[in-house]
Structure 1
Amino acid sequence: MSDVSTFLTTDRLVLREFTAQDAPHLTDLDGDPEVMRYLTGGRPTPPAEIRDRVLPRILAAYRQPPGLGWWAAERRADGTFLGWFEFRPVRAGDAREVELGYRLRRSAWGAGYATEGSRALVHKGFTELGVERVMATTMAVNAGSRRVMEKAGLSYVRTFHQDWPEAIEGSEHGEVEYALTRAEWAARRSS
């Protein structure tokens, strides 16, 4: 992996591009009802959907601007797959505004990995990739994800409601958007 856009290391993580061999990791991750609680109400993603839709979508995202897409997250000490981070354009091919997301195994929750990976991607986006704004969304009731967004430097922007094919518990409270601009990030770093 000589191309710097294909991986990123932090103190405890290696973030790398996905490969076709990651299908079992994604199947295990999306098979945990607690991991999927705020996404599908706890229903697992079927392995065929991972293979035929999810993984091909992840791999196709790498054709967008370099350095953006989904990043497989591994523990640096032992290579254990922990989950993934999303850092991809809100509008295809336009790196000025990106969406930050993350999905980690339950065993990785509460250890600061989501914050560590998010901060590293925000830094990379603002210093190397030409990103002007990072945004993230989650269900309003997902307190854990909201804390990660705040610790990564993003601030609450708004609450909004979407029409979902199937409502899940808590969806009646809506979704929230958090965001951070390059100017805000730079001002905080210089103070």
Structure 2
Amino acid sequence: MERYQHFCKNTGSTLCGKIHTVVSGDSCWSIGQANSVTVTQIQSLNPTLGQNCDLTVGKILLIQPACSVESTPCGKTYTVISGDSCWSIGQANSITVAQLQSLNPSLGQNCDLTVGQILLMQPACSVESMPCGKTYTVISGDSCWSIGQANSITVAQLQSLNPTLGENCDLTVGQILLIQSACNGYSTGWS
């Protein structure tokens, strides 16, 4: 298996959606150096790493987002801490409570927060910024297995296309998943 994989080609010559599979001896710093990105960028694209950038052998990391590099930064997240409210998070990120709820349907009408919860602050990717691929929006009751079955892909392929799912394939209602990536003659390697 390649340690670095590109799963989508941008409309220009730049490849996007690059992932990295962690091997023994890797650190966020060494991965960043090898890919010309900062540790902060790696942590931002992979919020489950935490502040210490905790790596596990075999973990799949997103190195470049699956969005057009010309587009506005997308997929910005925020991790809820003690004392946060939807209003304070919105104020700190220049969005309204309604926008926060729209981006994070699992919050519900009461905007229920849990410490450690990862919230989306900007849309993951707009249709215009994702030049290719098929997406699926997670609904209540979904599992990675059921999504894979419905779309004729394996759980491993779903995780490979969506590295932020992690090893446990953690889903959130409203989350947009990449199901198929094939563009400009470049594909994931399965059909």
Normalising by structure 1, report the TM-score. Answer: 0.29
Higher helix share: 1
The answer to which structure, 1 or 2, has the higher relative contact order (CA under 8 A, 6+ apart) is: 2
Normalising by structure 2, report the TM-score. Answer: 0.29
